[in-house]
Amino acid sequence: MNLSRPARLAAGIVGLIAAPIALGLLVLLFAVAWAYPSLPPIDALTDYRPKIPLRVYSAEGALLGEFGEERRNVVSFDAVPVVLRQAILAAEDDRFYQHGGVDTIGVLRAALTNLTSSGRQQGASTITMQVARNFFISSEKTYTRKFYEALLAFKIEATLAKDKIFEIYINQIFLGQRAYGFAAAAQIYFGRALKDITAAEAAMLAGLPKAPSAFNPVVNPKRARTRQLYILERMKSLGYLTADQHAAAVRESLVVKRDVNDFPVKADFVAEMVRQLVFDRYAEDTYTRGFRVITTIRKVDQEAAHAALRRGVLDYDRRHGYRGPEAFVELKTGSEEELEDALSDTNDSESLLAAVVREASPTQVKAYRRSGETVVISGDGLKFAANALNDRAQPNRRIRRGAIIRVMQDEKGAWSILQLPQVEAAFVAADPSDGSVRALVGGFDFGINKFNHVTQAWRQPGSSFKPFIYSASLEKGLTPSTVVNDAPIFIDPALTGGQLWEPKNYDGKYEGPMRMRAALTKSKNLVSIRILQQITPQYAQDFVTRFGFDADKHPPYLTMALGAGSVTAWQMVGAYAVFANGGYRVNPHLITRITDDSGRVLSESRPVRAGDEAMRVLDARNAFIMESMLGDVTKFGTAARAGTTLKRADLAGKTGTTNDHVDAWFAGYQSSIVGVAWIGFDQPKKLGGQETGGVAALPMWINYMQRVLRNVPESKRQAPEGVVNAGGEWYYREYAPGEASVQSIGLSDGTAEGEKRVEEVKNQLF
């Protein structure tokens, strides 16, 4: 057929256009045929095993901490709320369920926009292409990378269902703040479970994949808000939100968490101990395999211990005065940017918030907090730091413009000036029936000082060690009625391991002959020394190992009677548990079980329980009599405040104050729980002349017990077989009233006159 000239011309033009297109298609087909077989296998997707961090939980399942490079909570597709799916589709790939991995319409639309617009270039990556990129391809922006990304997207779509691809994307994508996946991001940014997020929160989260740093609501709240509003508008235009729902979401005020390590229960020291224990066993797998560690910690106990320790330390700090601002900065303009910069190197310590002073006078201080709020402190809130507001205050202690201070708000909303304490503390509590640790706080603030004062601090126990000397003496035939002379004594250097020793009682007073029971109640040093002389330091050194103490930490000298050896709070809680459970050695432990991410148990603890006679280390009679004496300490003695405050008769324990008031302790128990409190400085120095165990440590123990014993009925231990009561005192049957029951130590000089004096004393006491 003869074509007209115009027709031939048109055909030629079509041919000129079609030829390169056809050639391009042939080249593309050849490239696909050549590249497709060389694509990596997608086993990582078909057998998806994301890196999941180690998570540490309380006995009830409250999250205590997590460790891993990637913070991730894996969820199934069905567990993802519809509103979040819609927000992600609106933000990233609204044609996800229509295309086959590469959205050709989206590509053409982006190309047209890029050709006609001088603004930011648009991409056309689908959700499937992003999955391909995250697992198999680098993020460099080249045509070759894009080509492979598209081919992998086709391969993924040919292998996996759409919902499965979407599920992998939702769990794998990086969303800033170490959050991988939307479930982790919901918790980190909003403190919510994924199922509970709102449309406004979903839109904010859906804006993160595009640029996790630029649209991070913690770092860039304004840009994050702009992105959120764009996505909400897209959701409305796509029919995901009605006009009313859209308006409500736009109006919703979001509360974004600034502290990404904010767990429901403050247990940083516990979590770190668990991390170390798990790492010792599983090495680097610890941080990727999704191990779940269930601890013995109880939520209520841990919260009570944490609050008690913080309160005890702050109370001590208040008693010793204000030291001055932490630092000073020069404020030129007082702009918000300058104020924020001034606080950039200072972290908050829970309720102790860092602030920079804008204005200061003796009657009012205005200080800027990191939240952007300027707080006003006046009246009682200035009392603690009043001396630092005086014009005569030393320059380095004076509160003035540019000073970095600490402020705290009380329950009524009033602000006060405090300071970060320099003193440290420890508290640990355990179930004496099996050693399960119920609460552990290793210091005032883990973020400031990670040294665990429960397990790592070896300190002198002072008088809190005396019960173990008394317990040893019961095995040597002494009784609570044994009369011991509370009088000055001079100890030869050969018996102390040092120099001539002239020990004194805490109050510098001596009461002469007194019963052992009264001596322990009043914590008489001279009586303890004479008891140790009687039973010998060598015997006592061997005896205390029954309680879990190290013999080499307690040299066999008379100074052992005053607790001059070294212990940890961890050892002390196990040792006092022996008295509390009737004589059995139980091992303090933290971990109940370890599971993998699917819940399969990998290991489980099987603790020894009190009642297993193979673990008996102390005669039941000894434990009973010691408890009766330690009970008097909490009723009439150095810890009488415990009995009067808690209004219970089933408490027992002992205060401890070391030489020069360097360490203060209280260790005590009720039959269901044993607790140990310590306070002191990391670099040992005097706490202060009045800071005894009863003043500085006992209040922490009381505040803890006040909460955990609230609904626990009083208990009364029955006297074991072989114990008798005579004249209101308890004895081993073989030492019941007779000569042994009124033996004496340190009263007679061996002369007839000395023996006569002994008889007179016994007649007075009995």
SS3 608: coil
Region 121-127 average pLDDT: 67
Residue written as token pair 């648009």: 122
Is pLDDT at 107 greater than 90 in this prediction? no
Is residue 82 domain-shared with residue 218, that is, in the same domain? yes
Counts for the chain of helices (H) and strands (E), in that order:
23, 21
Q: 94: domain CATH number?
A: 1.10.3810.10
**What confidence score (pLDDT) does residue 3 get?**
57
pLDDT tens figures, 505-563: 988 899 999 999 999 999 999 999 999 999 999 999 999 999 999 999 999 999 999 99
Is residue 168 domain-shared with residue 299, that is, in the same domain? no
Q: Are 357 and 366 spatial neighbours (Cβ–Cβ below 8 Å)?
A: yes
Is pLDDT at 59 greater than 70 in this prediction? yes
Check if 463 is active-site: yes
pLDDT tens figures, 623-659: 999 999 999 999 999 999 999 999 999 999 999 999 8
First to last CA, the chain: 141
Query: CA 447 to CA 133: how far, in whole Å?
Result: 37
Query: CA 341 to CA 332: how far, in whole Å?
Result: 12
Question: Among 188, 216, 251, which residue terminates a domain?
Answer: 251
Taking CA atoms, 363 is separated from 378, 387, 393, in Å, by 6, 12, 15
Is residue 533 domain-shared with residue 591, that is, in the same domain? yes
Q: Please report which confidence band the pLDDT of residue 323 belongs to, taking 50, 70 and 90 as the band edges.
A: very high
Say if residue 114 is exposed, middle or buried (CB neighbours under 10 Å; 0-12, 13-18, 19+).
Answer: middle
Q: 543: domain CATH number?
A: 3.40.710.10
Q: Please report which confidence band the pLDDT of residue 119 belongs to, taking 50, 70 and 90 as the band edges.
A: very low
Is residue 317 domain-shared with residue 204, that is, in the same domain? no
In a domain, 45, yes or no: no
| pTM for this model (two decimals) | 0.85
pLDDT tens figures, 400-417: 999 999 999 999 999 999
Is pLDDT at 120 greater than 50 in this prediction? no
Question: Among 219, 251, 283, which residue terminates a domain?
Answer: 251
Is residue 481 domain-shared with residue 581, that is, in the same domain? yes
Least confident of 151-155, 187-191, 678-682, 743-747: 743-747
In a domain, 763, yes or no: no
Query: CA 564 to CA 659: how far, in whole Å?
Result: 8
Region 697-723 average pLDDT: 96
In a domain, 572, yes or no: yes
Q: Are 690 and 702 spatial neighbours (Cβ–Cβ below 8 Å)?
A: no
SS3 637: coil
Is residue 316 domain-shared with residue 444, that is, in the same domain? no
Region 277-297 average pLDDT: 95
Is residue 649 domain-shared with residue 513, that is, in the same domain? yes
Least confident of 129-143, 668-682, 741-755: 741-755
Q: Which is higher by pLDDT, 563 or 370? A: 563
Query: CA 353 to CA 275: how far, in whole Å?
Result: 28
Q: 323: domain CATH number?
A: 2.40.50.140
**What confidence score (pLDDT) does residue 394 get?**
92
3-state helix, strand, coil in the chain (%, to 5): 45, 15, 40
**What confidence score (pLDDT) does residue 67 get?**
93
Query: CA 221 to CA 227: how far, in whole Å?
Result: 10
* Choice among 58, 66, 92, 471 that is catalytic: 92
Task: Give me 659's structure tokens.
Answer: 């030489």
Residue 721 has, within 13 A of its CA and on its CB side, a CA count of: 0
**What confidence score (pLDDT) does residue 521 get?**
97
Residue 59 backbone class (left: φ over 0; alpha: ψ -120 to 50; beta: rest): alpha
**What confidence score (pLDDT) does residue 121 get?**
46
**What confidence score (pLDDT) does residue 137 get?**
61
**What confidence score (pLDDT) does residue 741 get?**
46
* Choice among 416, 463, 628, 744 that is catalytic: 463
Task: Give me 344's structure tokens.
Answer: 């950039």
Q: Please report which confidence band the pLDDT of residue 358 belongs to, taking 50, 70 and 90 as the band edges.
A: very high
**CA quadruple 529, 535, 538, 541: dihedral sign:** negative
Q: Please report which confidence band the pLDDT of residue 743 belongs to, taking 50, 70 and 90 as the band edges.
A: confident
Length in residues, the chain: 766
**What confidence score (pLDDT) does residue 739 get?**
46
Q: Are 677 and 312 spatial neighbours (Cβ–Cβ below 8 Å)?
A: yes
Q: Which residues contact 27 (CB under 8 A, 6 or more apart)?
A: none
Residue 379 has, within 13 A of its CA and on its CB side, a CA count of: 4
**What confidence score (pLDDT) does residue 27 get?**
44
Is pLDDT at 31 greater than 50 in this prediction? no
Check if 69 is active-site: no
Least confident of 11-15, 89-93, 120-124, 627-631: 120-124
Q: Are 538 and 513 spatial neighbours (Cβ–Cβ below 8 Å)?
A: no
**What confidence score (pLDDT) does residue 77 get?**
95
Is residue 501 domain-shared with residue 636, that is, in the same domain? yes
Is residue 714 domain-shared with residue 618, that is, in the same domain? yes
**What confidence score (pLDDT) does residue 152 get?**
83
Region 195-218 average pLDDT: 93
Domain range holding 126? 70-251
3-state secondary structure 190-257: HCCCHHHCCHHHHHHHHCCCCCCCCCCCCCCHHHHHHHHHHHHHHHHHCCCCCHHHHHHHHHCCCCCC
**What confidence score (pLDDT) does residue 153 get?**
83
Is pLDDT at 740 greater than 70 in this prediction? no
**What confidence score (pLDDT) does residue 552 get?**
97
Q: What is the mean pLDDT of the chain?
A: 89
Query: CA 488 to CA 562: how far, in whole Å?
Result: 15
pLDDT tens figures, 717-737: 999 999 999 989 999 999 887
Is pLDDT at 166 greater than 70 in this prediction? yes
**What confidence score (pLDDT) does residue 70 get?**
86
Region 445-469 average pLDDT: 97
Q: Please report which confidence band the pLDDT of residue 445 belongs to, taking 50, 70 and 90 as the band edges.
A: very high
Is pLDDT at 17 greater than 70 in this prediction? no
In a domain, 754, yes or no: no
Is pLDDT at 170 greater than 90 in this prediction? yes
Question: Among 218, 251, 284, which residue terminates a domain?
Answer: 251
Is pLDDT at 466 greater than 80 in this prediction? yes
In a domain, 480, yes or no: yes
Q: Please report which confidence band the pLDDT of residue 752 belongs to, taking 50, 70 and 90 as the band edges.
A: low
Q: Please report which confidence band the pLDDT of residue 759 belongs to, taking 50, 70 and 90 as the band edges.
A: low
Q: How many domains is the chain partitioned into structurally?
A: 4
Is residue 417 domain-shared with residue 432, that is, in the same domain? no
**What confidence score (pLDDT) does residue 239 get?**
96
pLDDT tens figures, 562-603: 999 999 999 999 999 999 999 999 999 999 999 998 899 999
Q: Are 450 and 557 spatial neighbours (Cβ–Cβ below 8 Å)?
A: no
Is pLDDT at 11 greater than 70 in this prediction? no
Say if residue 497 is exposed, middle or buried (CB neighbours under 10 Å; 0-12, 13-18, 19+).
Answer: middle
Q: Please report which confidence band the pLDDT of residue 490 belongs to, taking 50, 70 and 90 as the band edges.
A: confident
In a domain, 560, yes or no: yes
Is residue 411 domain-shared with residue 435, that is, in the same domain? no
Region 258-266 average pLDDT: 75
In a domain, 366, yes or no: yes
Q: Please report which confidence band the pLDDT of residue 10 belongs to, taking 50, 70 and 90 as the band edges.
A: low
**What confidence score (pLDDT) does residue 81 get?**
96
Task: Give me 722's structure tokens.
Answer: 């072989």
Q: Please report which confidence band the pLDDT of residue 345 belongs to, taking 50, 70 and 90 as the band edges.
A: confident
Is residue 574 domain-shared with residue 461, that is, in the same domain? yes
**What confidence score (pLDDT) does residue 135 get?**
77
Q: Which residues contact 273 (CB under 8 A, 6 or more apart)?
A: 440, 452, 455, 590
SS3 455: coil
In a domain, 724, yes or no: yes
Residue written as token pair 């006078």: 361
